[in-house]
């Protein structure tokens, strides 16, 4: 069936099978490979994107469900050389190693900071508890999110110093 989805501010249309998962629509149809696939069962969160502003695990959302809606992926949180504060925070505080969970982590954290600009450590831990990371032991991810919270609004885009 034909769907139209607003992805990162652009209208994208495609003919898709009704069973196509949103993560495969984003990755294979649109070629936006920053959204990763890691588990099939919505446990790992590597595929987290925003659907109408809410973080969702795109491996358990059908692409047709996004028809007529707005999707933001990791590619949509920064423009060119500019990075979001969360992206900067992850770099400053060593919030990543292999980088595979990072886009999903940043999408979840972006949604958290939009709702709660100054989250407590416990709130951060709870917010990212559906995003698995096998590399970092989480402490520096939490510091990365705190860095962004300390430096301003999450949607604010700043040029790297």
Cβ nearer to another protein, comparing 68 with 82: 82
Residues within the interface to another protein (CB under 8 A): 17, 19-20, 24, 27-28, 31-41, 43-44, 46, 73-75, 78, 83, 87, 90-92, 94, 96-103, 106, 121, 124-126, 128-142
Q: Which residues are within 8 A (CB) of 41 and not within 5 positions of it... i.e. 6 or more apart?
A: 59, 60
Determine how β-strand 70-72 pairs with β-strand 2-7: parallel
Shortest distance (Å) from residue 117 CB to another protein: 20
Cβ nearer to another protein, comparing 37 with 149: 37
Cβ nearer to another protein, comparing 6 with 42: 42
Token pair listed for 38 = 């890691």
Among 35, 38, 13, residue whose Cα is nearest residue 26: 35
Cβ nearer to another protein, comparing 51 with 68: 51
Shortest distance (Å) from residue 67 CB to another protein: 19
Query: How many CB atoms lie under 10 A from the CB of residue 126?
Result: 12
CA distances from 67 to 2, 48, 70, 94 (A): 9, 18, 8, 37
Shortest distance (Å) from residue 55 CB to another protein: 15
């Amino acid at each position: 069936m034909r769907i139209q989805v607003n992805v990162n501010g652009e209208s994208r249309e495609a003919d898709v099978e009704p069973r196509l998962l949103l993560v495969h629509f984003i990755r294979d149809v649109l070629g936006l490979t920053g959204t990763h696939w890691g588990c099939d069962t919505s446990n790992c969160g590597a595929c987290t994107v925003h659907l109408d502003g809410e973080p969702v695990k795109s491996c358990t959302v059908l692409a047709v469900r996004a028809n007529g809606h707005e999707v933001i992926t990791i590619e949509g949180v920064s423009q060119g050389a500019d990075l979001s504060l969360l992206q900067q925070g992850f770099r400053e505080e060593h919030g990543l190693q292999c980088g595979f969970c990072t886009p999903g982590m940043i999408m979840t954290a972006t949604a958290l900071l939009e709702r709660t600009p100054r989250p407590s450590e416990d709130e951060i831990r709870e917010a990212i508890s559906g995003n698995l990371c096998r590399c970092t032991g989480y402490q520096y991810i939490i510091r990365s999110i705190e860095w962004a919270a300390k430096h301003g609004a999450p949607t604010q885009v700043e040029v790297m110093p």
